[in-house]
Structure 1
């Protein structure tokens, strides 16, 4: 998903050159996914970015990898629905996924373009897909809260409740911040010890999710107030499916270190970590010099 507007970062962070040779952060995700058997890349973005991304990625991705660059359009809504408010911001992460409904026909992973998830996370996701053929079984790659914070400001995290490997719920906390020796959600006042498992929006889903998203979009569009500033979030959609017993969700440890670029000041850390991994041999320099097969 690369359709965000980078309001806290200050520009389109999805296309910031963070790698040692000017690579975008999402290129490392693509590389890791391809290296673990994924063969179809779908990028959801804004209309103005489509041609740029197609040209940029086609020269880098292996010839056997299918590429679709999809526009997340405000007007792309379920038949019979519409909106009457002025709005520029996209309808949310669930709508972004729904935008790709025509090109996705099998199980798929969902990630953010501005997050680095780690090589092992893609291996674990691929192993899950290979070993689980049931349409009713989804997965969430989990990360430890204390390892996903920014020193430059608050972050939004989905705090998971689980029963063993089985996900019970994901509760969105939109203003979590490290304060001295405490981790606090500034909105609710709740404190965390940092060992909680959180969602970083790395999901393994099935095409059955598109029907659920469509229904949720229809309900969302009936309220003019939510149309103004609201969004349809992917974790909320998955949670609704859980509550309706339509799916079960397995929580898979990512076995990886996450980092991202929520704020502009996060950039230096991301650049340093990508350089360190490349220097250590985890990635080629430039990234696509040795294309995974």
Structure 2
């Protein structure tokens, strides 16, 4: 069974100043998503699902989905702040989306095969999709067997400012933790550094694995994701912004 590519495209683009998912940057107006989807199709993915917001559905269907008709099955699901697990109600003053953990569970009931999750505004490269497709098509004999494509941080840096990355810890080939580190940048010695919450500077080796939010799941993840998000809501539903929102 070919896996599905699930693209997180509901972001508000507040830092960018617009819906960068819809902005063309290629010679013929291609978006970053177009390049990712092209690579995914050639890597063996058989379907593309997008999570978007209802308020820009018309533009998204016109500018994005129309490109793929006749090439690969595509569909959308919608993320809204009031679509929460049973027993929870969105706070009246909540305006920001809940973040990627919430976005992924919007596809519960719409995806029945192994699937990859990517950001709409990150470029991953064809080899990443090939590695992930091969892993997702591998037979599994147990639930909860998920994966993530890691990247060497030195290959994800820019000289135009700091970046936020999920710094990964692994043991015997298994991912044990992902810590979000913000404003990672080069210092005057061209070392890769970031500061923790106390202002202490830390150096990262260029080969340090980081997450670019490229994950692989099987459909049983949706039950796990709903339980995890429900736990988050029970503890922090009234917190204005938390790590799960980013």
TM-score, normalised by the number of residues in structure 1: 0.74
Higher helix proportion, which one?
A: 1
Deviation at 1:85, TM superposition (A): 4.3
Instruction: State the partner residue of 2:5.
Output: none
Kindly report which structure 2 residues correspond to 1:83-98, keeping only aligned pairs within 5 A, or say none: 83-98=90-105
Q: Distance in 1 between matches of 2:82 and 2:237?
A: 17
Instruction: State the partner residue of 2:180.
Output: 172
Q: Distance in 2 between matches of 1:7 and 1:229?
A: 14
Q: Distance in 1 between matches of 2:207 and 2:129?
A: 22
Higher relative contact order (CA 8 A, sep 6+): 1
Q: Distance in 1 between matches of 2:118 and 2:92?
A: 29
Report SS of the residue matched to 2:67.
coil
Distance 1:212 1:226, change over 3 A: farther
Q: CA RMSD, aligned part only?
A: 2.0
Q: Among 174, 198, 205, which residue is 2:217 paired with?
A: 205
Q: Distance in 2 between matches of 1:36 and 1:146?
A: 25
Gaps of 5+ in 2: 1-7
Deviation at 1:62, TM superposition (A): 4.8
103-112 or 224-233: bigger deviation: 224-233
103-112 or 45-54: bigger deviation: 45-54
Q: How many residues align?
A: 234
Deviation at 1:130, TM superposition (A): 1.9
Instruction: State the partner residue of 1:102.
Output: 109
Q: Distance in 1 between matches of 2:151 and 2:245?
A: 19
Distance 1:7 1:179, change over 3 A: farther
Q: Distance in 2 between matches of 1:8 and 1:28?
A: 22
1:220/1:227 contact within 8 Å kept: no
Gaps of 5+ in 1: 235-293
Instruction: State the partner residue of 2:160.
Output: 152
Instruction: State the partner residue of 2:28.
Output: 21
Distance 1:166 1:221, change over 3 A: closer
2:150/2:210 contact within 8 Å kept: yes
Deviation at 1:34, TM superposition (A): 1.1
Deviation at 1:29, TM superposition (A): 0.7
186-195 or 109-118: bigger deviation: 186-195
Distance 1:196 1:83, change over 3 A: same
Q: Distance in 1 between matches of 2:125 and 2:150?
A: 12
Distance 1:224 1:111, change over 3 A: closer
TM-score, normalised by the number of residues in structure 2: 0.87
Distance 1:132 1:60, change over 3 A: same
Instruction: State the partner residue of 2:14.
Output: 7
